[in-house]
Amino acid sequence: MKEEKNFETFEPKKGKKKKVIIIILCIVLILGFVGYRVLENMQEPEYIPAPQLVNVHVATSELRSLYSTAPISGRINPVEEVVITPLASGEVIRVHVSMGDRVERGARLFDIDASQQATQLSAGVNQASAGVNQASAGVSAARTAVGTATSSVDIARTNVDRMQTLFSEGAISLQALEQAQNSLTQAEAGLSQAQAQYATARASLNAASSALGAASSALGGTIDNSQVTSPINGYVTSLNVSVGSFASPGVVAATIADVSELVINTSVSEQIAFRLNVGDPVSIAISVLGDELHPGIVTAVSPAPALGGLTFPVTISVPNESGQIMAGMFAEINIIADQRHNVVVVPSDAVIIRGGRPLVVVLDAQNIPEFREVVVGLDNGIFAEIVSGLSTGETIVISGQHFVTAGVEVNVVD
């Protein structure tokens, strides 16, 4: 009985302990969940960034005149340039100018010692003169022979007439008449021969006289041409002779250039030629002088292409008040190829192509973009003519339009 009492006492205590443990575990779980929720609420809320707007640059469509230019290259040349080649040959004995000197027309450039050539030509003149004298003597002798032969013919003809009358009267024989006729035939043959000799003598005299004239002219020319002069006003741009050098015809001795005016001789296609008129202004870019554009004026336009070519020669005058421009510089001429007046234009970069269609991005007052199809006319690479699809004063995107979405606001950057 005692042992059973003890057993009953132990069992209740053990069950109570288990209940306590379960309660403690529940409390721990509740406290853990509550702590987790508290910590979760204490954390900062996750940051959700606002959507990024596309940055764009804009311009306004406007009404203006538009020009399209065609670049043409050419060299700047002096208005006149001549090559000096002497007409006499000989040693250069004196030079009066230096390269770069300004000379007037008729100014002496250099002198040639033509004495040796003059001596030779003088001998030729004397020989030609002797030939003339000899030919003159031949002409005189031939003239005398013609006169003698003429007299012989006259005598023989008179004798034939007389013998013919006597023969008709039976006073002479036929043989005597025939002898007279033979004498006349011989006299006429002698006259023909004398006349031929006279003609030959005259031809020889003419040839001798021409030779004398040429020799005399050459002698005089040699003396005159020994002093080489400038045929124009200008500057000495090259000088290839010096004292002691030998100058001769056909060899360039110097060049003279008139740079008081400068010109560009070039050519243009038929698409441009018919638009050009004398007096039209052009702009000229000379790379060695920087980015500044220089004015020019069209002074000549050929009405026909150059021989064997398809382009039309054009001459452009280049004013040079500053003196900076030099002959020989390379230039690029911008000639107006086409033009429009009072048309709607936008910067050329504003036009984009999508699906083969030209479009511009137009912004409303809230900077909401719209892709609008347009018809493009003249485009010079800087501005483009909008024939239809756009009005004056509309705001269009000129940079960043490839990244915008229709209907989605953009950010306009100044």
CA-closest candidate to residue 238, choices 254, 249, 251, 252: 254
**Dist. CA 405–CA 14, nearest whole Å:** 76
Listed ranges 3-12, 188-197, 201-210, 244-253; the one with the highest mean pLDDT = 244-253
CA angle 65–70–73, rounded 5-degree value: 145
**What does residue 83 show for φ and ψ, rounded to 5 degrees?**
-105, 130
Residue 100 DSSP class: T
Please state the rounded mean pLDDT for residues 310-323: 87
279 and 336 in contact (C-beta within 8 Å)? no
- In order of 167, 174, 190, 210, the CA distances from 198 in angstroms are 37, 36, 12, 18
376 and 330 in contact (C-beta within 8 Å)? no
**Dist. CA 128–CA 212, nearest whole Å:** 5
**CA torsion, ordered 123, 125, 131, 133, to nearest 10 deg:** -110
286 and 322 in contact (C-beta within 8 Å)? no
pLDDT at 19: 73
Mean pLDDT score across all residues of the chain: 81
Burial of 229 (0-12, 13-18, 19+ CB in 10 A): middle
**DSSP assignment string, 326-383:** -TT-EEEEEEEEEEEEEEEEEEGGG-EEETTEEEEEEE-TT--EEEEE-EEEEE-SSE
pLDDT at 25: 74
- pLDDT tens-place string over residues 64-107: 998 887 778 889 999 889 999 988 788 898 999 999 899 999 99
Q: Which residues make Cβ contacts (< 8 Å) with residue 387, sequence separation at least 6?
A: 343, 374, 375, 376, 377
**What does residue 69 show for φ and ψ, rounded to 5 degrees?**
-110, 155
Say yes or no to pLDDT of 213 above 90.
Answer: no
The more confident residue out of 292 and 179 is 292
Say yes or no to pLDDT of 247 above 70.
Answer: yes
Question: Count of alpha carbons within 13 Å of 306, Cβ hemisphere only?
Answer: 10
The pTM of the full predicted model, rounded to 2 decimals, is 0.49
**DSSP assignment string, 215-273:** HHHHHHHHHHHTEEE-SSSEEEEEE---TT-EE-TTS--EEEEEEEEEEEEEEE-HHHH
Band of pLDDT at residue 114, cut at 50, 70 and 90 = low
**Dist. CA 139–CA 132, nearest whole Å:** 10
pLDDT at 388: 93
CA angle 350–351–353, rounded 5-degree value: 140
pLDDT at 88: 78
**Dist. CA 167–CA 146, nearest whole Å:** 31
Helices H / strands E in the chain, number of each: 4, 20
The more confident residue out of 67 and 114 is 67
Classify domain 257-337 by CATH number.
2.40.30.170
Q: What is the largest CA-CA distance in the chain?
A: 234
Written as six digits, the tokens of 410 are: 């953009």
- pLDDT tens-place string over residues 329-360: 999 988 877 888 999 999 999 999 998 999 99
CA-closest candidate to residue 350, choices 399, 308, 386: 399
Report the topology of domain 115-225.
Helix Hairpins (1.10.287)
- pLDDT tens-place string over residues 13-63: 556 667 777 777 777 777 776 666 666 666 555 555 656 889 999 999 999
Say yes or no to pLDDT of 375 above 90.
Answer: yes
Q: Which residues make Cβ contacts (< 8 Å) with residue 413, sequence separation at least 6?
A: 55, 56, 57
CA-closest candidate to residue 116, choices 93, 85, 94: 93
Helix (H, G, I), strand (E, B) or coil at 2: helix
Say yes or no to pLDDT of 127 above 70.
Answer: no
**Reported CATH class of domain 57-64+341-412:** mainly beta
pLDDT at 306: 81
pLDDT at 3: 46
The more confident residue out of 272 and 20 is 272
Does an H or E element contain 191, and which?
A: helix 174-225
- pLDDT tens-place string over residues 257-267: 998 889 999 88
- pLDDT tens-place string over residues 130-186: 666 776 777 677 778 778 878 777 887 887 787 778 777 777 777 876 777 787 788
Say yes or no to pLDDT of 10 above 60.
Answer: no
pLDDT at 105: 92
Band of pLDDT at residue 2, cut at 50, 70 and 90 = very low
Band of pLDDT at residue 120, cut at 50, 70 and 90 = low
Say yes or no to pLDDT of 396 above 80.
Answer: yes
pLDDT at 391: 93
Band of pLDDT at residue 115, cut at 50, 70 and 90 = low
The more confident residue out of 350 and 225 is 350
pLDDT at 212: 60
Q: Which residues make Cβ contacts (< 8 Å) with residue 91, sequence separation at least 6?
A: 112, 113, 244, 245, 246, 247
pLDDT at 8: 47
CA angle 26–32–38, rounded 5-degree value: 135
